Amino acid sequence: MFLWVIQRDLLLAMRQRSDVLTTLFFFIIVVSLFPLGVGPEINMLRSMAPGVVWVAALLASMLSLERMFSSDYLDGTLEQMMLSPQPLILLVLGKALAHWMVTGVPLVLISPILGFQFDLQTDALLVLAVSLLLGTPVLSLIGAIGAALTLGLRGGGVLVSLLVLPLYIPVLIFGAGAVEAVSAGLGASAHLSLLGAFLLLSLVLAPWATAAALRISIE
Amino acid sequence: MLKVSNLECVRGERSLFKDVNFSLEAGELLQVNGPNGSGKTSLLRMLCGLARPAHGEIRWLGDNIRSLDEDYYNSITYLGHLNGVKDNLNAIENLRISSALAGNGIDESTAYASLQKMGLIGREILPVKVLSQGQRRRVTLARLLVSDTVLWILDEPLVALDTSAVLLVKGILEQHLEKGGMVVMTTHQDINIAAIETKRLQLN
């Protein structure tokens, strides 16, 4: 059942590739604009790189949040899922994971290449990718709560950002912090461990909160 | 098996209906009638647990459906007035996915056979978005052919269907009732479905 949900959402994403590509290109363009706008001052670029990449990743994952449940809500498939004999929590977890595979994984893969534009060292590039690998699933899981709460509301897209962005702050701080720590010659393990802890915490709590929010929204 | 007592539905400040009582046993059909806006859809959504009644309770085999939750969903199939099919998937994918999510996975040949019964062969690999309204409805209704649940809750199942499809659905429902299933449905069409007992509920 869990696998069916993931398989279904990936299949839908394959059929509608523009959704996936918009997120990826948004990320690439936002990150690339900074070196162009700020100028070729290498030290400055290096020090701002982690923050820029991470903020762009937050915004890119926000872009597609609204669609996580709303298209299923509009065509009635969400209703059918809620009447499934399987626990709703599992289903929500499947949808959040599929969202991450479609929007988070491409960002993780492309981030080392974008990091080159900021003249990041190899170890910093690696940590950047690892921090995104740990952090982007958290974005999808927390985002699912916001998407479920604003389901069916007018102007839901803006409301989602207001609800969810403040909750992203810890992930941003430790994600960007990990890369900065490596660039400064300190180890990134403390930051990465905290990101891992956020991931575990949101894996446990977010599906439960999302399921509760969906039950309220669908009534 | 299904027992509803003193059910009340409130929308905003208005009470749509109250003191609705009925019970349904194996092989029985309940037809819910009433003008537009009388709360037929709200009643059906309450019956399948999507909406919470303002007052009263719904019992399945003696237990409140609120406490049964996922166990109850093993026994019901709900078709709402939204089709519940994904536009970008084809009929076979839609049918297989919705059955799997309903806890009753089917293989491709079973899906093919039930789509054939619904008269959709030749169109089973087209994305559903290019099908007509009536054909989409047929894809939705194909779920009934593969469902193994006891209680079917159907909201306007005959909408957009042509006469041959209406007869087809009538046949499916009669077969289900004959096997001891139960059906709760709303419809504005005049069809006569044979059942052990047909109950009618008038909302106004």
Q: Which residues of B touch A85 (CB under 8 A)?
A: 70-71, 73-74, 102-103
Identify whether the C-beta of residue B87 lies closer than 8 Å to the C-beta of residue A75. Answer: yes
Q: Nearest CA of chain A to the CA of B169: how many Å?
A: 20
Rounded Cα–Cα distance for residues B7 and B53 (Å): 7
Q: State the DSSP code for B128.
A: G
| B28 interfaces chain A, CB cutoff of 8 Å | no
* DSSP track, B80-109: -SS----TTSBHHHHHHHHHHHTT----HH
What the block records as the tokens of B194 is: 């044979």
Q: Residues A129, A134, A135, A138: is their CA dihedral positive or negative? A: positive
Identify whether the C-beta of residue A49 lies closer than 8 Å to the C-beta of residue A111. Answer: no
pLDDT, tens digit (0-9, with 9 covering 90-100), for B71-123:
889 899 999 888 889 999 989 999 999 898 888 888 888 888 889 888 888 88
Question: Is residue A54 predicted with pLDDT exceeding 90?
Answer: yes
Rounded Cα–Cα distance for residues B98 and A5 (Å): 10
Identify whether the C-beta of residue B154 lies closer than 8 Å to the C-beta of residue B29. Answer: no
Rounded Cα–Cα distance for residues B193 and B196 (Å): 10
Angstrom CA distances, A68 to A130, A202, B13, B55, B181, stand at 25, 17, 32, 33, 36
Mean pLDDT for A193-213 is 95
Rounded Cα–Cα distance for residues B20 and B14 (Å): 16
∠ CA(A34), CA(A37), CA(A41), 5° rounding? 85
Question: Is residue A154 predicted with pLDDT exceeding 90?
Answer: no
Mean pLDDT for B132-156 is 91
Q: Which residues of A touch B80 (CB under 8 A)?
A: 76, 79
The pLDDT > 70 percentage for chain B reads 100
Give residue B174's pLDDT band: very low, low, confident or very high (50, 70, 90). very high
Rounded Cα–Cα distance for residues A3 and A67 (Å): 20
Of all residues in chain A, the one with the smallest CA distance to B75 is A85
| B181 interfaces chain A, CB cutoff of 8 Å | no
Give residue A117's pLDDT band: very low, low, confident or very high (50, 70, 90). confident
Mean pLDDT for A72-76 is 90
The per-residue pLDDT for A173 is 94
| B84 interfaces chain A, CB cutoff of 8 Å | yes
Mean pLDDT for B146-160 is 91
Q: How large is the ipTM?
A: 0.87
Question: Is residue A56 predicted with pLDDT exceeding 90?
Answer: yes
Question: Is residue A138 predicted with pLDDT exceeding 90?
Answer: yes
Question: Is residue A28 predicted with pLDDT exceeding 90?
Answer: yes
pLDDT, tens digit (0-9, with 9 covering 90-100), for B2-52:
999 888 988 888 888 888 899 999 999 999 988 888 889 999 999 988 888
What the block records as the tokens of A118 is: 């900021």
Using DSSP's 3-state secondary structure scheme, residue B180 falls into: coil
Give residue A192's pLDDT band: very low, low, confident or very high (50, 70, 90). very high
Task: Name the strand (E) or helix (H) holding A137.
Answer: helix A122-149
Angstrom CA distances, A216 to A81, B50, B52, B67, B136, stand at 15, 9, 10, 17, 29
SS3 content of chain A, % helix, strand, coil (to 5): 85, 0, 15
Question: What end-to-end distance do the CA atoms of chain B give, in Å?
Answer: 26
Mean pLDDT of chain B: 89
The pLDDT > 90 percentage for chain B reads 32
Using DSSP's 3-state secondary structure scheme, residue A24 falls into: helix
Q: Is residue B5 left, alpha or beta, with left meaning phi > 0 and alpha meaning psi from -120 to 50? A: beta
Q: Which residues of A touch B102 (CB under 8 A)?
A: 80, 83-85
Q: Which residue has the tokens 């019901």?
A: B76
Going by C-alpha positions, the residue among B100, B119, B16 that lies closest to residue A8 is B100
Mean pLDDT of chain A: 91
Question: Is residue A167 predicted with pLDDT exceeding 80?
Answer: yes
Question: Is residue A177 predicted with pLDDT exceeding 90?
Answer: yes
The per-residue pLDDT for A57 is 94
